[in-house]
Amino acid sequence: MLTLRRAALQGLATASLGIAPAVGRAAGEASAVDFSNVPLGRLPQNFTAARTGHGAPGTWVVQEDASIPGGRVIIQTGADKTDYRFPLAIYQEYSGTDFEVTVRIKPVAGEVDRAGGIAVRLIDQDNYYVLRANALEGNVNFYRVVQGVRRQIKGASAKVGSGQWHTLGLKAEHDRFTATFNGEPILSASDRTFTGPGKVALWTKADSITSFAALTIRTLA
């Protein structure tokens, strides 16, 4: 039954988001997402906003931030305190199975949560993996989200400072996942829930107001 369900989830890829197995990038090629020319106060055209769970939709906009090279970030500013609320900003120009993705995050505010992360192999807003760092809990956790239900795969303690930039990295290769935090290995895990291609997305939780910058995706051989 579980195998059939996984196969069905993979079949959603072409139906829900138009995911294709390749986007014309050679193995080893890296792509950096640039916000410097995006008008302030808007979601970049190559992103789509979505939400897992309940509560208000996420509010994703580009803002100026002099603390980052390039001077502009994308930030989720909606502060709805619904606990099971996971705003997503889905990057539409990449779909893949085996790749390495890095992003800089800065947890700015949040009373229920103060977190940010990267979702990968995303089929739709309810089916994906996510690696996230939480400044209130002081940890980095890796989850699977299946039909909107989040389950932790593995976690590790980490010093996640509020108002500070951190770098999250996740390497997805077959059923193996390796995560880094500020350039250092922090956890690894194996899981076969999502084995096909999917998109990459920025992710937050509840009332987290979090900035993101320097999103880079490198396709693996």
Structural domains of the chain, with CATH: 2-219 (2.60.120.560)
Dihedral, CA atoms, 219, 70, 168, 45, nearest 10 degrees?
A: -60
Q: Is 69 helix (H, G, I), strand (E, B) or coil?
A: coil
As a whole number, the mean pLDDT across the chain is 90
Q: Is residue 72 a contact partner of residue 95, using CB atoms and an 8 Å limit?
A: no
Give the per-residue pLDDT at 26: 64
Q: Taking 90 as the threshold, does the pLDDT of residue 12 lie above it?
A: no
DSSP 39: P
Q: Taking 70 as the threshold, does the pLDDT of residue 153 lie above it?
A: yes
Q: Is residue 195 a contact partner of residue 175, using CB atoms and an 8 Å limit?
A: yes
**Cβ neighbours for 34, distance < 8 A, ≥ 6 positions apart:** 70
Q: Is residue 170 a contact partner of residue 150, using CB atoms and an 8 Å limit?
A: no
pLDDT digits (tens, 9 = 90+) for 155-175: 999 999 999 999 999 999 999
pLDDT digits (tens, 9 = 90+) for 111-129: 999 999 999 999 999 999 9
Retrieve residue 109's tokens: 């505010």
DSSP 193: S
Retrieve residue 25's tokens: 């990038």
Q: Cα–Cα distance between 172 and 95 in angstroms, integer?
A: 13
Instruction: Work out the average pLDDT over 136-162.
Output: 98
CA 159 to chain centre: 19
Q: Taking 90 as the threshold, does the pLDDT of residue 18 lie above it?
A: no
Q: Taking 80 as the threshold, does the pLDDT of residue 221 lie above it?
A: no
Q: Is residue 104 a contact partner of residue 35, using CB atoms and an 8 Å limit?
A: no
Give the per-residue pLDDT at 5: 44
pLDDT digits (tens, 9 = 90+) for 47-102: 999 999 999 999 999 999 999 998 999 999 999 999 999 999 999 999 999 999 99
